[in-house]
């Protein structure tokens, strides 16, 4: 079973969590281009979320599912996904120029995602943020790269002490990174 957030209808969620603790959520990615048709079974980009929630319990299983199914290009812009599981594994999943690209573990130093590719966001953060130095990104900017940097900084600064509950802090992060078209904020616990 799963709990999903749907804008367009049943079986086409924007994101959700299943009973095993797998979370899948999407964000817009203008540069996203899905693979060309091949022998794998095609699936629409929002149905892909439901498929993952219905079938898997780990980030690794979701990554491995790319060998069996492919997202079909129907809409522009494309989407990319943030996936997490009960073991605290997290991944960004993107299709860039038709190629499946994911970041997890050591390749994903910050478990956050906005509306640029993870690699672009990480490059921007390293060039413009100031962990231990000068903060060059704009604190109030609604640009995706600045929102990514702000979220990464806030996640890094979370002290993890019992007197600061994680769920309210997570909502605070989402409030501080909301874009002009943010319609809802969701925290999965």
Q: Collect contacts of 128-134 with beta carbons under 8 A, ≥24 apart.
A: 129/153, 131/156
Q: Strand (E) positions, the chain?
A: 2-6, 13-18, 23-29, 41-43, 69-71, 78-84, 90-96, 99-104
Give the CA-trace dihedral at 82, 86, 88, 93, to 10 degrees. -20
pLDDT digits (tens, 9 = 90+) for 34-53: 889 999 999 999 999 999 99
Give residue for tokens 């079974």.
41
Question: Quick check: 2 and 53 in contact, CB under 8 A?
Answer: yes
**CA of residue 171 relative to chain centroid, distance:** 16
pLDDT > 70 fraction of the chain, expressed in percent and rounded: 93
144's tokens: 């995706």
Quickly state the pLDDT bin for 58 (edges 50, 70, 90): very high
The yes-or-no verdict on residue 163 having pLDDT over 90 is: no
pTM of the model as a whole: 0.91
142 Rama class: left (phi>0) / alpha (psi -120 to 50) / beta: alpha
pLDDT of res. 136: 53
Residue 85 phi, psi dihedral angles, 5° rounding? -135, 180
pLDDT of res. 51: 97
CA distance 48 to 148: 24
């Amino acid at each position: 079973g799963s709990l999903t957030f749907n804008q367009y209808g049943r079986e086409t969620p924007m994101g959700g969590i299943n009973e095993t603790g797998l979370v899948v959520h999407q964000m817009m990615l203008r540069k996203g281009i899905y693979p060309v048709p091949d022998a794998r079974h095609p699936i629409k980009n929002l149905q892909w979320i439901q498929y993952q929630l219905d079938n898997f319990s780990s980030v690794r299983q979701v990554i491995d599912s790319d060998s069996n199914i492919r997202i079909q290009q129907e809409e522009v812009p494309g989407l990319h996904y943030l996936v997490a599981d009960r073991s605290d594994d997290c991944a960004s999943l993107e299709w860039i120029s038709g190629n499946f690209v994911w970041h997890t573990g050591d390749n994903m130093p910050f478990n956050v995602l906005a509306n640029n590719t993870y690699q672009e966001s990480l490059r921007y953060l390293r060039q413009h943020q100031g962990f231990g130095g000068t903060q060059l990104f704009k604190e109030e900017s609604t640009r995706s790269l600045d929102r990514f940097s702000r979220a990464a900084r806030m996640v890094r600064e979370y002290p993890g002490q019992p007197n600061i509950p994680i769920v309210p802090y997570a909502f605070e992060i989402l409030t501080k990174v909301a874009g002009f078209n943010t319609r809802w904020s969701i925290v999965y616990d």
